[in-house]
Amino acid sequence: MVRLTAGYDFIANGYRRKPWPIVTKVLGSDALWFGDLGSGPGQNAVYLISLRSELRGVIVDISEEMLLRFLKEVPWELSCRLYPVLADMEYLPLRSDSLDGVLLIASLHHVTSRSGRLQVLRECYRVLKCGGMALAVVWSRWQLSLILEVLRDFPSFVFRRKESLWDFTKCSRIACREYHLYSLRELVKDLRVSGFKTLEKGIYVPQSSGRAPAKNYYCLSIKPLN
């Protein structure tokens, strides 16, 4: 936990990701409250509440520096509708059945144990109202640059120092971060095991003006009505 937190604290000031328009999929017409888990500096949550004046959101991140950056940069007129929470998304300090939608945007794949990822999804299920929706977006494993990263770390899998072949650690000059590369089938399965019903799935490639963006898989799922 300390190592992961430190890694995200180190990159907070240089984090420049734009909001992804796909996040609007999580909102039903009567949605009032949503959660953004592994939110970073909250760019997706800010984008959502800028679209609908009735929305309120909780942004949850393990990095204090990410949340401090959110507090510095969120527009004043939107700040009263977003509530930052410093917490691990595996153990959400939120009431059960309290949210209409949950975002997991490029955050679930940073949990490198399957038990941890399932715990995150079960927590999403718990805090959602029946009929609430969850949108998970994760890195696809079928990308040449990422497969090369996996192969570099292949000895760790052979000698059982990591759980899955598709887990790896990527380091920059500033910090290291851990990843699990998903297949779309695996993402759908993990959501199903956690109680969700998948409504929509596919590939999402965000627009980028710089280097070629990573290919992502997404699933839009619902907590079924009892």
Domain boundaries, the chain: 2-144+183-222
- Looking at every residue in the chain, the average pLDDT score rounds to 88
| pLDDT for res 209 | 46
Which residues partner with 82 through β-bridges?
Answer: 57
Please say if the pLDDT value at position 170 is more than 50.
Answer: yes
| pLDDT for res 4 | 53
User: Mean of the pLDDT values across residues 11-20?
Assistant: 68
Which residues partner with 85 through β-bridges?
Answer: 60
| pLDDT for res 182 | 94
For 153, other C-beta atoms within 10 Å of its C-beta total 15
Task: Summarize the chain as % helix, strand, coil (round to 5).
Answer: 35, 25, 35
- 220 vs 175: which has the higher pLDDT: 220
Q: How far apart are CA 202 and CA 188, in angstroms?
A: 10
**Contact between 150 and 134 (Cβ < 8 Å):** no
Tell me the pLDDT band of 87, cut-offs 50, 70 and 90.
Answer: very high
Q: Which CATH superfamily groups domain 2-144+183-222? A: Vaccinia Virus protein VP39 (3.40.50.150)
Type and span of the H or E element at 39 = none
| pLDDT for res 96 | 98
| pLDDT for res 3 | 41
| pLDDT for res 211 | 58
- 212 vs 143: which has the higher pLDDT: 143
Tell me the pLDDT band of 62, cut-offs 50, 70 and 90.
Answer: very high
Type and span of the H or E element at 200 = strand 197-204
Tell me the pLDDT band of 14, cut-offs 50, 70 and 90.
Answer: low
Q: How far apart are CA 109 and CA 214, in angstroms?
A: 13
Q: Scan for tokens 């072949």, then name that residue.
A: 165
> What Rg value do the Cα atoms of the chain yield, rounded?
17
